[in-house]
Structure 1
Amino acid sequence: MIGKSKPNPVNVGDQIGNYTIENIIATGLNCFIYSGKLKNTITTSVAIKTEIDIPSRTALSREIIVLEAVKNQKHFAKIIETGNYKEFRFVVTDLLGPNLRDLAHRKEPHRFGLQILLKFAYQAFESLQTLHQAESTPEEDLMRVMNIISEYYTGKDQVAEMINRMSKEQRDQIDQSLKIPTEFQELNEAIINYQPDKNPDYSHFLQIIQKITMQNQLDLNQPFDWEIEMEHMRVSVIKSSTKIEQRSSYARNDTKITIEYAKCTKIVSKPELNVIQYTNVAKLGSVLFI
């Protein structure tokens, strides 16, 4: 939760535009973010962000303008719908996955290796290059990328080890350049030497990242480790679903055999009741798990 927030203007189950609210994701001083789905469907969830529609509140309007400007570019959430709901303005976008902090903290040591951060930095600078064509505030954004690298790198150079042993208060007192891992010092210098009155040389930043990648014999085309984990989970779910479907198929085959057996032996009793129940269970299994 961001700061002290007001009561949520929207409740679970409410309809905003063409979407039904499912959950509250985050609340802030002025904005609220929800997950939702297209009304009367079981489609993929979306993110719905609201802000009170008064002249002094313009953050969401600016965000919509930027998202519209970069809507056909990679690395950005797709804008799906905008509009007004009661006294609020809203925007519907793709529902993104966990943030970088959540990904780092999903397992020990709560940090990332060199390849992950190089790939992150490359994609971040690609995104910023696109974003700054729509909204020119590059200085802080460039340094945020370096701050993230400093926070989540698992490098074992002496400076990093020394800083890792310090308390947060001690780390905050250290010059920022000392916090930058050795491998990223050249990139940090290039950003520091950037002239605010000129456009950032993103091609130079990307060339430095490629240089670091080659020096360490890494491959930025390799997926992020959490993407590999998600793929393993997807394959596992598909395998489990296939087994359930096979069991359901066997159940349906057994039903056919039972019916044929009943016909051949001219059973006078009523086996149909059990057959129907068995068939319904098999179908239920398919619906629930496939």
Structure 2
Amino acid sequence: MTTVGKILVLFIMAFSLILSAVSTVVFTTSKNWKTATEVEKKKVNDLTTKLRDAEAQTAAAAKDLETQKANYEAQAKQLADKVAAVEQQNQVAQQQITTAAGQVATAQQNAKTSLDEAEANRKEALLLREQKSAVEQQANEFKLHVAELNDKIREMERALDSATKNNTDLKDRVARFSALLRSQGLSDDISQITATESAPPVVGEAKRVDANNRRFEITIGSNDGLVVGHELYIMRTSPRAEYLGKARVVSVEPNQAVVQVIGNTYQGKKIQEGDIVSSTIRPRL
């Protein structure tokens, strides 16, 4: 027998043994298959029942889910409406808050302005009090000054009355003296009175010298005590002091007089405006 034949014999024997084992197993378990099948059917029936129950529960749950979904959507819509209303209320409240903030800021500014005005009014009141006190003090001082002035006015009125009486007396005396002078054939014009004595101590200046250099005006007159006939010395101080001659008063007014040169001037010098006339400055002879 060849090797292939041996292998085939061994393969056949092994297959036979396998078939025998399978047959034995099938025969051994053939009685339990029916029971197992019934058990499995019962399980399938139980599972089917449970599946139906589960499907029913699922359907009920789905229906309940739809109901809950509808309720949720309704509640969600209500909540959305409430949210929208709340947001609108929030916007209104925010606007009110903004308005209130502006009003508060305005009120604060007004309050600050009022406080500033009150402070300014307080300072002004204090200043007015001080000014009032100063004015009252000045008024008191003014009253005292007015009282003093009234006293002085009364004194001056008394002095005026006395001066008026004296003036009246003097006018009467002057009128009597004038009448007496006229009765004696004399003039009562002071400017025409001829000097009977030396001129009083006076110093003046020459002005408006005539073309002949014989007469000129001087800056002193009867108010200084000069009368017609008084003689004055003529001097020059610039560029050097020098004596020019003498002059006699020929007419007199209260604040000026006219004089005439007596004889010739020293060395024939011309009288100039600004030259000095005096009764006290005498030349060195």
Q: What is the TM-score of this pair, normalised by structure 1?
A: 0.17
Which structure's CA Rg is the greater one?
2
Q: Greater share of helix residues, 1 or 2?
A: 2
